[in-house]
């Protein structure tokens, strides 16, 4: 709870939360508030923004604003689903691996390695080809590949904590494993998982967009940001400005998630070292690891060593 309070005290976190709040609002009410039916094709194809079509129309005459608002839900839900799958698969196994003994540890690490070498898009294609094409299949596939990140973060924090003296002391005094987990470890793991989750959410949003470009996941005419972006890019000659709207929306959301992740880390360590401007937060991570690198992936794909990137242990 102190983490949440600390978080709200950071100005950039508030900005990020406002942006994300707006996105959530759009996801819930966007379709109902949209001025037009997002699927209705008006005769004005590729119209410029006007009083009637606030952001213009697309290549078959659909209102861009309405499609953006209505498309928010599926874009966000898709990414949320992927992150949820990743969390459910990664966190419990990451915790368990610490107490599993050497053989169990080794096997679980190799499974996580295996999932890390599979590229998101190729795996999503394979899943679509075998299990059928649909948002849920695609997102579960992405979620499964996201889980090693959560696995490694959880495991690294738990491993670090297990060897600290206060957990050792608790175990020596006969505390049950479950009690140890609950009291000592959750408070440390939760912030780290939240940081990883925010980053994973941003990555997942970009992957959903990429999959729409490939025709995987959500199929047209259902609106999504990624689908609109890739469709608009086909009409650059006529409407060079069109991709800006979904593009900016996507960048804002991903950027806000990255900033939020940075702020959570800062809030959970409780050390607000120096004021970091919104801009520095958006461009660099606290530990200076590159933002572009899949936020979760730790170390080279196949490593014996543990991921040392424990943020707030």
Minimum Å gap between C-beta 282 and another protein is 6
Residue 137: both structure tokens together: 């299949």
DSSP, residue by residue, 83-141: HHHHHHHHHHHHHHHHTSHHHHHHHHHHHHHHHHHS-HHHHHHHHHHHH--SHHHHHHH
Of the two residues 176 and 303, which places its CB atom closer to another protein in the complex?
303
Which CB atom, from 57 or from 203, has the smaller least distance to another protein? 203
- Token couple for 29: 């009410």
Nearer to another protein, 171 or 294 (CB): 294
Axis-axis angle for helices 244-269, 64-98 (nearest 10): 30
What whole-number distance in Å separates Cα of residue 171 and Cα of residue 223? 54
Min dist. Cβ of residue 252 to another protein (A): 9
Q: Please, what is the minimum distance in Å from the beta carbon of residue 81 to another protein?
A: 18
Least separation in angstroms between CB 269 and another protein: 18
Pairwise CA distance, residues 215 & 272, whole Å: 44
Q: Which residue, 44 or 113, has its beta carbon nearer to another protein?
A: 113
In the three-class reduction of DSSP (H, G, I as helix; E, B as strand; rest coil), residue 163 is classed as coil
177 vs 308 by CB, closer to another protein: 308
Binding residues for another protein, rule: CB under 8 A, are 110-111, 113-123, 125-133, 202, 206, 209-210, 213-215, 226, 229-230, 233, 236-237, 243, 247, 250-251, 254-255, 258, 282-284, 288-294, 297, 299-305, 308
Cβ–Cβ under 8 Å, residues 265 and 195: yes
Question: Minimum distance from CB of 68 to another protein (Å)?
Answer: 16
């Amino acid at each position: 709870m102190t983490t949440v309070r600390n978080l709200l005290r950071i100005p950039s976190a508030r900005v990020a939360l406002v942006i994300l709040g707006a996105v959530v609002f759009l996801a819930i009410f966007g379709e109902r508030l949209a001025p037009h039916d997002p699927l209705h094709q008006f005769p004005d194809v590729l119209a410029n923004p006007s009083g009637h079509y606030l952001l213009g129309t697309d290549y078959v005459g659909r209102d861009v604003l309405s499609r953006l608002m209505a498309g928010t839900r599926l874009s966000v839900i898709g990414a949320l689903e992927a992150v949820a799958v990743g969390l459910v698969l990664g966190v419990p196994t990451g915790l368990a691996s610490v107490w599993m003994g050497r053989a169990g540890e080794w096997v679980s690490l190799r499974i996580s390695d295996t999932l890390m070498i599979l590229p998101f898009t190729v795996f999503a294609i394979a899943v679509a080809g075998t299990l059928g094409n649909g948002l849920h299949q695609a997102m579960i596939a992405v979620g499964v590949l996201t889980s090693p990140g959560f696995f490694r973060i959880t495991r690294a924090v738990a491993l670090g904590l297990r060897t600290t003296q206060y957990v050792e002391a608790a175990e020596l005094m006969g505390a049950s494993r479950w009690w140890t987990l609950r009291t000592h470890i959750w408070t440390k793991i939760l912030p780290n998982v939240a940081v990883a989750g925010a980053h994973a959410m941003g990555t997942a949003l970009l992957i959903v967009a990429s999959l729409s470009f490939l025709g995987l996941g959500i199929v047209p005419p259902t609106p999504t940001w990624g689908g609109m972006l890739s469709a608009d890019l086909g009409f650059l000659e006529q409407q060079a400005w069109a991709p800006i709207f979904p593009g900016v929306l996507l960048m804002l959301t991903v950027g806000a998630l990255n900033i939020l992740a940075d702020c959570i880390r800062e809030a959970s360590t409780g050390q607000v070292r120096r004021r970091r401007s919104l801009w520095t937060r958006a461009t660099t991570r606290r530990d200076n690891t590159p933002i572009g690198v899949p936020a979760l992936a730790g170390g080279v794909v196949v490593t014996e060593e543990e991921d040392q990137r424990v943020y707030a242990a």
